């Protein structure tokens, strides 16, 4: 067995590689098999004690009069350094002597190749040779300050695209803020409602946040921030105020869009992929709580697929990042500074932050924003079924595997689903090539597909998998009756355009019949 060197006496003066070679072997062994890693650690410590570096646990000096620490301090320091190097091996900090990446050990010269970039790993990530790092630099990469550095970079990247939304003249907001007082004498009954003057377009009635998602000035915010406003003004990060145009909103999802214009464009945030988020991921909430612009708070994703009564379409993310009145419409960003959600609501007993906030996933918000921009409304597709989740109770009742898919227990008459051949008690396994796991995910998949498009549906029926095709209808009319009527009218109009003389003859014939009938009656 190769002996391990442990020159810990020169930690402050020498590079991390002086002790990193030994401890990196320990950390790598610990990752593969923890018992082996601990054994190598104990062997390294024992070697230090036996070769005289420490004397009976009492601080002393080495032969060249270098001060050393006692055993307890050194053991703690070794453990801390092992932890740092183990963390470094888990991220994209790659040593030049890492055999797992196929590179050459430090003791051997690296052969130069014209087709290989020595600064990149096979995965395309930048290599960092820890021989060039001192302790302070290593701690910046994997120590406690690394998280602070990530927060700082993410905030710096996303804050310029975060704006404050000022809404003027909202009648409903004024009514909610100033409810009528109770009568002085309850026995006299309620007095006549107080007549409140309608706020004009110069009276500020609401403050929220928003985020610029395109350089041409498209902003996503919450619908409740701008609903009923006679005028909306956007306050940028540089204190500039711009009048908003094309204000549109969707009540069911609480998403709204508006546009601003100026020469040179605007800083836009990069959009992430909210489908890749997991519980425990770090996030930052940026907004204007209590009109305190560009306030940043940190937290994690606490839960997914939450539902609120006032948001009937779509599922929400839950976070413990501080969200307060004024944060609504602001972005929730990841550690790369990419917007992954739009803050929208809190759960609170006093109206302020109590550790539970909710945000609309950015994938959902962006789809709604695109619909509003293109059609001034959100067109949601439907097929006309009522669904049930295959939980243990329902699955046991119908003798189906738990979590197999979504149970279609009721089919709307003459709906798109019925015309496609879907029957009651069919289990929907896949829709448009995507696996279906629960009713909420199935609803989102269906409603985001283009209305009128034909999609593949895989169902499970009596032990067999069947592939069907369904033409998507609108949520307002899942029976496709309006579409069929419009198609009939279009075909009639085309025939009339081809034969205008036939139209006149048909029109004259009933008149002739009518005149004959009148003659008979007379």
Of 292, 263, 255, 273, the closest CA to residue 339 belongs to 273
The H-or-E segment that residue 22 falls in is: helix 17-32
- 3-class secondary-structure state, position 108: coil
Tokens representing 39 are: 């054994």
Residue 71 CA from chain centroid, whole number: 49
Query: How far apart are alpha carbons 394 and 432 in whole angstroms?
Result: 25
Cβ-contact 220, 372 below 8 angstroms: no
Phi, psi of 126 (to 5 degrees): -70, 130
Tokens representing 232 are: 């909306």
Cβ-contact 247, 258 below 8 angstroms: yes
| Identified catalytic residue from 328, 334, 343, 415 | 328
224 flagged as catalytic: yes
- 3-class secondary-structure state, position 7: coil
Query: How far apart are alpha carbons 233 and 168 in whole angstroms?
Result: 8
328 flagged as catalytic: yes
Strand partners, 219: 212, 258
98 flagged as catalytic: no
DSSP string covering 339-380: EEEEEEEE--SSSS-SS-EEEEEHHHHHHHHHHHHHHSS---
| Identified catalytic residue from 224, 302, 343, 415 | 224
Query: How far apart are alpha carbons 249 and 224 in whole angstroms?
Result: 9
Phi, psi of 425 (to 5 degrees): 75, 10
| Identified catalytic residue from 97, 250, 254, 334 | 254
Catalytic site positions: 224, 254, 328
């Amino acid at each position: 067995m190769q002996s391990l060197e442990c020159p810990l006496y020169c930690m402050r003066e020498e590079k991390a590689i002086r002790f990193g070679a030994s401890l990196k072997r320990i950390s790598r062994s610990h990752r593969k098999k923890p018992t082996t890693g601990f054994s190598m650690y104990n062997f390294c410590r024992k070697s230090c004690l036996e070769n005289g570096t420490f004397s009976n646990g009492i601080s002393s000096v080495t032969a060249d009069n270098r001060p050393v620490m006692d055993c307890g301090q050194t053991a703690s320091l070794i453990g801390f350094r092992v932890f740092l190097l183990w963390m470094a091996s888990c991220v994209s900090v790659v040593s030049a002597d890492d055999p797992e990446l196929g590179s050459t050990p430090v003791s051997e010269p690296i052969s130069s190749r014209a087709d290989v970039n020595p600064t990149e790993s096979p995965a395309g990530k930048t290599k960092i040779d820890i021989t060039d790092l001192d302790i302070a630099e290593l701690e910046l990469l994997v120590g406690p300050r690394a998280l602070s550095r990530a927060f700082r970079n993410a905030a710096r990247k996303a804050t310029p695209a975060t704006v404050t939304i000022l809404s003027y003249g909202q009648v409903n907001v004024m009514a909610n803020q100033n409810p009528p007082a109770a009568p002085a004498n309850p026995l006299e009954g309620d007095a006549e409602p107080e007549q409140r003057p309608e706020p004009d377009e110069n009276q500020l009635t609401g403050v929220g946040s928003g985020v610029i998602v395109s350089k041409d000035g498209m902003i996503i915010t919450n619908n409740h921030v701008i609903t009923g406003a006679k005028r909306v003004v956007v306050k940028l990060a540089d204190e500039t105020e711009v009048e908003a145009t094309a204000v549109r909103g969707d009540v069911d999802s609480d998403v709204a869009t508006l546009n601003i214009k100026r020469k040179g464009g605007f800083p836009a945030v990069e959009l992430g992929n909210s489908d890749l988020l997991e519980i425990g991921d770090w996030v930052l909430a940026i907004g204007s709580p209590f009109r305190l612009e560009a306030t940043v708070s940190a937290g994690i994703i606490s839960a997914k697929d939450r539902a609120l009564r006032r948001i009937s379409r779509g599922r929400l993310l839950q976070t413990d990042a501080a969200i307060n009145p004024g944060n609504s419409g602001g972005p929730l960003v990841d550690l790369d500074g990419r917007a992954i959600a739009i803050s929208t609501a809190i759960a609170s007993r006093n109206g302020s932050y109590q550790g539970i906030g909710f945000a609309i996933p950015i994938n959902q918000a962006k789809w709604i924003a695109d619909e509003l921009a293109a059609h001034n409304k959100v067109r949601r597709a439907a097929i006309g079924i009522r669904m049930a989740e295959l939980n243990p109770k329902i699955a046991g009742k119908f003798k189906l595997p738990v979590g197999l898919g979504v149970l279609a227990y009721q089919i709307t008459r003459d709906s798109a689903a019925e015309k496609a051949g879907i029957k009651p008690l069919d289990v929907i396994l896949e829709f448009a090539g995507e696996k279906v796991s629960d009713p909420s995910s199935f609803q989102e998949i269906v409603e985001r597909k283009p209305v009128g498009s034909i999609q593949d549906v895989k169902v499970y029926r009596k032990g067999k998998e069947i592939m069907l095709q369904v033409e998507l209808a609108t949520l307002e009319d899942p029976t496709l009756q309006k579409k069929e009527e419009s198609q009939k009218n279009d075909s009639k109009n085309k025939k009339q355009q081809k034969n205008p003389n036939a139209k006149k003859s048909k029109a004259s014939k009933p008149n002739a019949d009518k005149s004959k009938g009148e003659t008979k009656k007379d």
